[in-house]
Structure 1
């Protein structure tokens, strides 16, 4: 293996889950990266700005000289050590920078000095990104089955039982509703698209993809038009569960589990405050659709429920506003949307029945 080796087979890299050493600056990494990439920047954000400014004002040679000065001595040794440690744990690692240019070549040369020959990605992150975008343009050609159902019917849990699932909400780190926000932030649009494309590549051999019925937006990220359009034409199965089962499922997720997640992340006091804000903000987002009168009523019930949850540790009072929200807002909205796709519905049933149907389902080609 030579230092100049470039890997151009993006498909193989992604299909094999290749671990990447991403030597771009943290700000570049934060805008978009791949699921198996790890950021070991050769230049930090301020250093990258300084080199870029030097390049514009004094030319390429001066900029290169400045870069070498910034990354020297202990700084250089620390970076090489970090790359070496990663390589020893991931001997199949591949390196890349923004366009497969100077930063990745320099990293390769430093590693070569200590006996490590590491290939780099041809055209770097840009090459990988363009390839993944081309994959997303064609995803609509794969057979799909859409799982639909009222809020709280357990669609997300159901999908987790099947290897053919493309977990859109998991990739988006959002539950897809006004209360869908998680403790951790959502990925950027580019990172979401990258992860989605990787998932599609790795599951392309499967006969169908199983997806949850989603709107175009999942929180702050949106589905590629090619996928969203294909989902709008795919056959649909509908999970039907009694209201009491749905209330139990939602209560467990949003009232019992979520408060514990906030407390574990932020501590008892701040965690409780953030949990309250989470529920109140979720309801506030819906105020225009609910109407001011109904929103005000639900807001007061929510406030009372939070007081009871804090003082007595019980969540039963939350059901008073949750029932209204489901029966007067979410369920009618779902029925309206389902009526628009009724010609595509091929099966209805409870949770176990839907699981059994999916196990035996074969797409019509």
Structure 2
């Protein structure tokens, strides 16, 4: 049985129905619906052949070529689908709900699967994803200078039942020149947007949504404009943490990283850091004096933070001091602080 459904209907299906993306591996890698598995009807090269035939010869010849290319693969498609969906219930999509997903849905249905065919395919999902960034949410932004522990506090807020979106986790980058930590690999821009949209679909938009203060770009990725604009105009809690405490935290986090990586990242910001400070920072790294290295680069990052804060409306910035090194204590302190503020000052 084949049932055609819209993408928003798919998300409402009970039991988490597996989703088969029958586009090529290259299309899937560029961007896919979070949680989908790749069941490619064609290889990357085969899709090019079929597309060229369609344009240069015609539709019927392209269809015949498609059957020639996939003829021996159908049992493999079904076996793969059975591995992922042993209950024989599966959703299927291609780029825009055309022949590829139609053929796969027909074959799986013939075998006995209950198939949900996504109307409009991945293209309809992308429209849906972009719409999520337009919807208003009750943002609360957690700000503070580099090393204040914002990301850790966000995680504690989430454990306390607060709604949190961790943009740096989604972007696989910690925001600074050193943000890859010499190990993180960022997703594509499209996949970043897809992952963010799927987190947004589950939030209660009447309830506070905590997000860390970020610049528009996180590494090579860009926060979608409608989402970023809401962040920029939202109330920001500016936590004040002492310099020594920040230096200690950053030294523990970045100190163990390879010297070559830290030097390369420092060189990338040499124009903003300044020639003398760059030289001093690299010397500190080479000597293994990580605390001194952190203190030098913090001068630059603190100035940048101050410039960014100056762009915000003063009435939208709430300041509080943080002294504990226990992030659970800090998260609770922030929540208590929010509860003492008139509701008109925040969402």
Cross-structure match for 2:295 = 323
**Higher normalized strand content (fraction of residues):** 2
Q: Is the contact between residue 15 and residue 202 of structure 1 (CA under 8 Å) also seen in structure 2?
A: no
Is 1:287 the counterpart of 2:270? The answer is: yes
Cross-structure match for 2:5 = 7
- Shifted more, 157-166 versus 75-84: the winner is 75-84
**Higher normalized helix content (fraction of residues):** 1
Cross-structure match for 1:38 = 37
| Stretches of structure 1 lacking an aligned partner (at least 5 in a row) | 260-274, 306-316
Take 1:283 and 1:15, find their aligned partners in 2: how far apart are those partners?
Answer: 49
* CA deviation after TM superposition for structure 1 residue 103, in Å: 0.9
1:103–1:359 Cα change, 3 Å: farther
* CA deviation after TM superposition for structure 1 residue 357, in Å: 2.9
Take 2:308 and 2:273, find their aligned partners in 1: how far apart are those partners?
Answer: 17
**TM-score w.r.t. length of structure 1:** 0.84
2:141 to 146, 152, 171: 146
1:296 to 270, 276, 279: 279
Take 1:283 and 1:243, find their aligned partners in 2: how far apart are those partners?
Answer: 20
What are the residue-to-residue correspondences of 1:1-365 with 2, within 5 Å? 2-3=1-2, 5-10=3-8, 13=11, 19-73=18-72, 75-88=73-86, 93-138=90-135, 141-161=136-156, 162=158, 163-182=162-181, 183-205=183-205, 207-256=207-256, 259=257, 275-305=258-288, 317-326=289-298, 328-341=299-312, 342-350=314-322, 352-353=329-330, 355-358=332-335, 361=338, 364=344
Cross-structure match for 1:312 = none
Q: Is the contact between residue 237 and residue 317 of structure 2 (CA under 8 Å) also seen in structure 1?
A: yes
Q: Is the contact between residue 10 and residue 118 of structure 2 (CA under 8 Å) also seen in structure 1?
A: no
Take 1:9 and 1:46, find their aligned partners in 2: how far apart are those partners?
Answer: 28
| Stretches of structure 2 lacking an aligned partner (at least 5 in a row) | none
* CA deviation after TM superposition for structure 1 residue 173, in Å: 1.0
Take 1:136 and 1:292, find their aligned partners in 2: how far apart are those partners?
Answer: 40
**TM-score w.r.t. length of structure 2:** 0.88
* CA deviation after TM superposition for structure 1 residue 12, in Å: 5.3
* SS of match in other structure, 1:236: strand
